């Protein structure tokens, strides 16, 4: 297992949206780990910032406001990674849907796959709601994430 302070170019390229990413926060009430899955995720070119979007009422946003240390779990670029950092949640942004942008300053990036393991196929998903709405949301949200 290797640990780095920033994302390698392969991970920056991978994290340009439409990827399944696991978000681990600390539940503000129980103080237990809280897992959610996100896909509106963009790594910035320098490799030290990741931004993602969540709904304005998302439990993960409330958790981050209470405890900003988070972990993002990423499967891709041949391995599995735990990206740890401190997050800041934006005010509510009103677009086609109400959302919040979370900005993560990366503290560490660790390759966490088991010894001798290599990812050969990355997870995929499909959106099961209105295609026109999905395109509108993607355009709005990715323009915010790339700011």
Which pLDDT tens digit goes with each residue over 64-121? Answer: 999 999 999 999 999 999 999 999 999 999 999 999 999 999 999 999 999 999 999 9
Which pLDDT tens digit goes with each residue over 22-80? Answer: 999 999 999 999 999 999 999 999 999 999 999 999 999 999 999 999 999 999 999 99
Question: Do residues 52 and 38 touch, judged by C-beta distance below 8 A?
Answer: yes
Question: Do residues 51 and 64 touch, judged by C-beta distance below 8 A?
Answer: no
* Chosen CATH of 3-145 out of 2.30.110.10, 3.40.50.300, 2.40.50.180, 3.90.650.10: 2.30.110.10
**What is the mean predicted confidence (pLDDT) over 125-139?**
94
What's the CA gap between 120 and 101, in Å, rounded?
31
Question: What percentage of the chain exceeds 90 in pLDDT?
Answer: 97
Q: Using CA atoms in the order 56, 59, 65, 69, what is the torsion angle rounded to 10 degrees?
A: -130
């Amino acid at each position: 297992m290797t640990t780095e302070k920033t994302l390698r170019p392969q991970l920056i390229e991978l994290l340009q949206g439409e990827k399944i990413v696991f978000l681990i926060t600390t539940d503000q009430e129980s103080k237990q780990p809280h897992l959610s899955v996100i896909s509106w995720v963009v790594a910035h070119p320098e490799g030290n910032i990741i931004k993602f979007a969540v709904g304005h009422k998302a439990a993960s946003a409330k958790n981050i406001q209470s405890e900003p240390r988070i972990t993002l779990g990423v499967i891709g670029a041949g391995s599995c990674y735990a990206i740890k950092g401190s997050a800041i949640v934006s005010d509510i942004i009103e677009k086609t849907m109400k959302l919040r942008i979370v900005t993560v300053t990366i503290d560490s990036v660790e390759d966490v796959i088991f010894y001798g393991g290599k990812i050969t196929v990355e997870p995929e998903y499909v959106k099961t709601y209105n295609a026109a709405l999905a395109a509108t949301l993607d355009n709005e949200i990715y323009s915010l994430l790339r700011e």
